[in-house]
Amino acid sequence: MEALSPFELDVARLLVETLHLEHLQPKDLQPEDPLFGEGLGLDSIDALELALAISKAYGFQLRSEDKENRRIFASLRALSQHIAQQRTR
Helical axes 44-58 vs 6-18, angle rounded to 10°: 120
Binding flags for another protein, 14-53, as an x/- string (CB under 8 A): ------x---------------xx-----xxx-xxx-xx-
Site for another protein in 47-66 (CB under 8 A): 47-49, 51-52, 62-64
Q: In terms of CB distance, is 36 or 60 closer to another protein?
A: 36
How far, in Å, CA of 13 to CA of 34, rounded? Answer: 17
Helical axes 76-86 vs 6-18, angle rounded to 10°: 100
How many residues touch another protein under the rule CB under 8 A: the total is 18
